Amino acid sequence: MSPGLFRLLLASLVVVSHVSRYDVGRPAVFIFFVLSGYWVYRMYDSKYRRFSNPVKAFYLSRFLRIWLFFVVCCLVAIVLSGHFVPEDLYALLIIGVASRSHDPLGVSWSLDYEIQFYLLLPLIWLLFNRITDLQIAVLSISLLVIVMMAGAHALEAYYGILTVFGLLPLFLAGCLLARLDYCPSVHAAAISLVLTAVAVIAVYFVPATHDLLIKDAGNPITKDLFFIFISGMLLPFIAYNVSQKSDGLDRHAGNWSYALYLLHSPIITATYALMAAKMGQPALKIVAVACAYGGSLLMYLLIDARIERWRTRKFEAIR
């Protein structure tokens, strides 16, 4: 599977989660975090560190990539919902939206984690590029991450503040894949994929663990730890996937996944509100999902692709 198609598949799992009872969207986002760690680390290492002010250029470029189209999608979501509340404006800041309940897109919490990770990336890059003894470094970083995760869960439990440290292993795993330039064989990737599928199927059919894959069921912390474990099992497949060549069409598929991810929820909700009285549930879900794909593709081609071309030209000019 090509890299862009894989990202589109992950975004599609989030759509499936929205119209079903299965909690397949959150683990898909967790895998997105691993991919983000990989691609952003590689970008910083191969491109931004050569700028005269690499940290500033990286922060500005990543923020514009996330924020400009995000604002457009928030405005679309507000229009589709038919009402505006002041809390909608807070979501435009992105930072902190994961700690608040109001989210016009329903997925902005993940962008909050992304932005927090971007803020840490130059420090992570500096740390990873000074690694001399890999085994000692991995052990030390692992212990540090465990402490950070414990602190993050304490902040969430007692103060309702969500930080990237609770999911930092996912981003760091992607960074490490990029740092080591790890490319497993196709057989190792296939074994990784099969074992992950077997683990998920086993968890679903065992009554004691069934709720891990059902929305609004089970312990959230236990579920997150399970999804982190699943993402770890899939690392060889992820490493093999990102090493594959991507043509122009595949890159469009990968970029479209961002629009689909952001816009599917407000489009599906609006379709439900408009068509619920005219058709049954199965047909309504099919129409809503089709609208989500069609609407997001249109928004990608007309707006996001143009924003991305402008951003790319801008940063090529100031290199």
Q: What are the tens digits of pLDDT across the range 270-287?
A: 998 888 767 778 888 999
Average pLDDT over the chain reads 87
Average pLDDT of span 73-81: 90
Q: Which burial class, exposed, middle or buried, applies to 92 when counting CB atoms under 10 A from its CB (0-12, 13-18, 19+)?
A: middle
Token digits for 248?
A: 């122009």
What pLDDT is stored for residue 227 in this prediction? Answer: 92
Q: Residue 43 and residue 105: Cα distance in Å, rounded?
A: 27
Q: Residue 115 and residue 162: Cα distance in Å, rounded?
A: 13
Give tens-digit pLDDT for 186-243. Answer: 999 999 999 999 999 999 999 989 999 998 887 888 888 899 999 999 999 999 999 9
What pLDDT is stored for residue 159 in this prediction? Answer: 66
Residue 20 has pLDDT above 80, yes or no: yes
> Taking the model in full, what pTM does it have?
0.91
Give tens-digit pLDDT for 170-184. Answer: 998 999 899 888 889
What pLDDT is stored for residue 97 in this prediction? Answer: 85
